[in-house]
């Protein structure tokens, strides 16, 4: 599903004038435009300048659930963040009024979402990696457009597997030429 979404963006935004582009042209577009865009977006998220698109919806749902009255008892576990209420399974963020129960909205940097229980946790863990933001204070990392920090390839942020794949494709392309 994610691959189709990325291809759709590439096709509609960058390949509008190209009916059947060659693979090396597509890889070039990914290297020059998409990867820098994703790196800059990740830098903004890591620096706290920008919040992800789902964060306002998360806060809205948290507020609405924390204001509701508790009428019945359901089997809940705050350690594994599970509730037996049917609305819990339909919730986009796996939340229920029985789990929230008047708690304040957590800070974004402390929120950890997972696919397996516990679905939400609210404290920093030792095993979790947090972005180191010291490299973003370097004057060489500032973009000319607005003073927003940019990510460099040699920064401490790990490059995703897709980036490694593109770099391998680039090296193979360079060997062929």
* pLDDT for the residue numbered 166: 57
3-state secondary structure of 170: helix
Below-70 pLDDT ranges, the chain: 1, 124-170, 172-173, 176-177
User: Is this model's pTM higher than 0.85 or not?
Assistant: no
Distance CA 121, CA 49 (A): 23
Output the pLDDT for position 163: 55
**pLDDT by residue (tens digit) across 63-91?**
999 888 888 888 888 888 888 888 888 98
Token pair of 33, please? 């435009």
Say how far apart CA 162 and CA 6 lie, in whole Å.
11
Per-residue model confidence as pLDDT tens digits over 128-141: 554 444 444 444 44
- In whole angstroms, give the CA distance from residue 39 to residue 27: 16
Closest CA relative to residue 155, chosen from 177, 134, 171: 134
Q: For position 126, what pLDDT does the model report?
A: 59
Distance CA 114, CA 34 (A): 26
pLDDT for 144 equals: 42
Say what the pLDDT of residue 152 is: 47
| pLDDT at residue 60, rounded to an integer | 93
C-alpha–C-alpha distance, residues 12 and 86, integer Å: 39
């Amino acid at each position: 599903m994610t691959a189709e979404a990325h291809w759709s963006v590439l096709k509609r935004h960058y390949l509008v004038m190209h009916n059947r582009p060659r693979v090396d042209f597509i890889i070039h577009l990914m290297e020059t435009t998409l990867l820098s865009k994703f790196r800059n977006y990740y830098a903004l998220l890591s620096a706290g300048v920008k919040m992800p698109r789902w964060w306002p919806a998360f806060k809205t749902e948290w507020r609405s659930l924390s204001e509701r009255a508790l009428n019945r008892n359901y089997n809940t576990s705050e350690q594994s963040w599970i509730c037996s209420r049917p609305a819990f399974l339909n919730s986009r963020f796996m939340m229920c009024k029985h789990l929230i129960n008047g708690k304040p909205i957590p800070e974004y940097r402390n929120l950890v979402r997972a696919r397996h229980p516990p679905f939400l946790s609210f404290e920093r863990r030792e095993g979790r990696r947090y972005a180191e933001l010291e490299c973003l204070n370097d004057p060489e990392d500032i973009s000319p457009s607005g003073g927003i920090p940019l990510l460099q390839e040699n920064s401490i942020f790990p490059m995703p597997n897709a980036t490694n794949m593109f770099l391998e494709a680039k090296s193979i392309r360079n060997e062929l030429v």
